[in-house]
Structure 1
Amino acid sequence: MRAVLITVIFLQLCVGLECVIELPNAVKKCHFGDTKCIKETANNLIRRYPKGISSIGLKPLDVVHVKDTVLVNDPPVGNAWYHFELVNQINYGFENVTITEVHGFDEDPTSSKIEIKGIIPRLVYKGNYIAKGRMLWMVNINSTGDSESEFFNFFFEFSLKVQTEYRNNKRYLKIYQLVPNVGLDRWIMWLDNFFPDNSDLTILINKIFNANWVEFWNELEKPILEIFTSVFLSIIQNTLENVAYDDMFLSNKYIKEL
């Protein structure tokens, strides 16, 4: 607790005194636009620092807290409607991500689109759910309980547009647009206590979901994308805020002179 407090105070002082925060020496720097090197460095950083790097604001990758999200929110009218919300969610598995492709990160980061592609073998969300509605032949739903979702071979692609701002005579990146594209091989979900008075019916509804997960994915892909995007941004935003873009890379000046 004391170490966390000291780190927070240090970061606040750095903001006030315009301190320069740099990447640890163990993180290999690449030249601007050297996407092969950037990909290798990103993967090495992920493997070496699953708990994050507090000194630069990189949050832990192995345990990520997720904001509460409403997946379905029908108006409560008529014979069939549904409200489903995920709360107190924690994400596990980002520490096992492999970056497969990187594009962009040129000396002028605004001159080209930045793209990041990767795959996560198993991504897990655990937390609680809130379900309300009317379905299944006028059956009323009003339940809460534990929830768990597992996404297998979860692959993603992010297209970023950024702008730069100057501080301490150095450039810092700001993401102003992020377009995600994701896919997966399998989704397994379990909702405890969905029918509090009928455990058999709870088991049945979970079996129905998992047997028809593709249809549910197609229906819920947009809000799930929003969750995944917010998780990704929450991991990297503080680092971009703390570490100057110019300090993340090696200058290409020497290469040009050769």
Structure 2
Amino acid sequence: MKLNILIFVCFMAICSSAEVPTDNKLPPYIKICKRNSEALKCVLENIERCRPYLAKGIPRLLIPALDPLNLPELDIVGNNLRIKLKNLKVHNLPSLKVVDGKLEFEDFKLALKLNIPHIYNEFEYEAEGKILVLNFHGNGSGYTNGSDINLDIDAKAHPVSKDGRTTLAVDYVNVKYKATTGKFHVDNLFRDQKELNDQTNRLINENFREFEDEISPDIGKSISSVITRIATNILEKYSFDELFPLE
């Protein structure tokens, strides 16, 4: 479900706490991509080369350990509900795959289509609001499962020259996402009313698409904000010529 995608991208929020080497050398398994017609293929191959290292993290690229990924807190706000997730553990992120992409050097645009076959998340929560026809206010523990998650990312940047060095600054990052199937479960949503809690979990999962649509707008904004911040950190560290030298 959309919650899984938000958690996937929100691992970026803790990247600043990773121990990052002070030099600007790229990891040895990353290939320098020349600024030519083969650049996109090179970028996609680099992403694939990174996958075996994602579980333990890649400090030089500001990527923390991803399996499991521990997140201290995450807020989700929809039209009729507010959920605060705490002590999240996200499993199976390194299974992400790049389905397709497009890279335009003239306009400094990048488009990626990603797929995550399956993600499992555990968390503690505090929540209040209205789900379908039921008002609630509770706290406890929960989990989510998401399968066949598709994520479309469109981003644009512009060059910035300073002290003889040209880097890229992010203009925008737009995110569209969709989970084919998902399951959501929380305990104690209605305090000690177990039967009502079970009925609500069942109702949410029977109306998965409606619930997903309710929370998706704010989740999309959160994803875009976090990617923008982390992309900015990386693009400020490496110059455009270091990342994509001319022939």
1:189 match: secondary structure:
strand
Out of 21, 32, 41, the position equivalent to 2:24 is 21
Distance 1:136 1:162, change over 3 A: closer
Instruction: Quote the offset at 1:114 in angstroms.
Output: 1.4
1:238 match: secondary structure:
helix
Structure 1 Cα separation of the partners of residues 158 and 118 of structure 2 = 33
Out of 107, 119, 123, the position equivalent to 2:115 is 119
Aligned AA (1:190): H
2:160 counterpart residue number = 165
Structure 2 Cα separation of the partners of residues 101 and 87 of structure 1 = 32
1:120 match: secondary structure:
strand
Structure 2 Cα separation of the partners of residues 234 and 149 of structure 1 = 26
Unaligned 5+ runs, structure 1: 12-19, 75-82, 253-258
Structure 2 Cα separation of the partners of residues 69 and 84 of structure 1 = 8
Structure 2 Cα separation of the partners of residues 94 and 233 of structure 1 = 20
Instruction: Quote the offset at 1:90 in angstroms.
Output: 4.5
Distance 1:225 1:204, change over 3 A: same
Unaligned 5+ runs, structure 2: 1-15
Superposition RMSD on alpha carbons, in Å?
3.0
1:86 counterpart residue number = 84
With the length of structure 1 as denominator, give the TM-score of the two structures.
0.75
1:165 match: secondary structure:
strand
Distance 1:162 1:140, change over 3 A: closer
CA contact (8 A) 1:58 1:239 kept: no
Distance 1:226 1:187, change over 3 A: farther
CA contact (8 A) 1:23 1:248 kept: no
Structure 1 Cα separation of the partners of residues 28 and 238 of structure 2 = 14
- After superposition, the C-alpha distances for 1:151-176 in whole angstroms (9 at most, x for unaligned) are 21111111101122235533222222
2:170 counterpart residue number = 175
Report whether the alignment pairs 1:30 with 2:27. no
Report whether the alignment pairs 1:217 with 2:212. yes
With the length of structure 2 as denominator, give the TM-score of the two structures.
0.78
Out of 52, 57, 61, the position equivalent to 1:52 is 57
Aligned AA (1:101): D
Structure 2 Cα separation of the partners of residues 5 and 214 of structure 1 = 35
CA contact (8 A) 1:58 1:238 kept: no
Distance 1:157 1:193, change over 3 A: same
- After superposition, the C-alpha distances for 1:179-221 in whole angstroms (9 at most, x for unaligned) are 1111121121111111221212211111111111011112222
Structure 1 Cα separation of the partners of residues 122 and 226 of structure 2 = 14
Equivalenced residues, count: 228
2:78 match: secondary structure:
strand
2:97 counterpart residue number = 98
Aligned AA (2:140): G
2:158 match: secondary structure:
strand
Instruction: Quote the offset at 1:145 in angstroms.
Output: 1.2
Aligned AA (1:124): Y
Out of 70, 75, 78, the position equivalent to 2:76 is 70
Out of 41, 46, 53, the position equivalent to 1:41 is 46
CA contact (8 A) 1:165 1:174 kept: yes
CA contact (8 A) 1:22 1:56 kept: no
Residue correspondence of structure 1 range 101-250 to structure 2 within 5 A: 101-104=100-103, 106=105, 108=106, 111-133=107-129, 141-167=136-162, 169-230=164-225, 232-233=227-228, 236-250=231-245
CA contact (8 A) 1:117 1:158 kept: yes
Q: Which has the higher contact order (CA 8 A, sep 6+)?
A: 2
Structure 2 Cα separation of the partners of residues 55 and 136 of structure 1 = 45
1:222 match: secondary structure:
helix
Structure 2 Cα separation of the partners of residues 191 and 167 of structure 1 = 51
Identity %, equivalent residues: 20
- After superposition, the C-alpha distances for 1:21-73 in whole angstroms (9 at most, x for unaligned) are 12122212222252112111111112334333213433334316375323235
Structure 2 Cα separation of the partners of residues 215 and 134 of structure 1 = 13
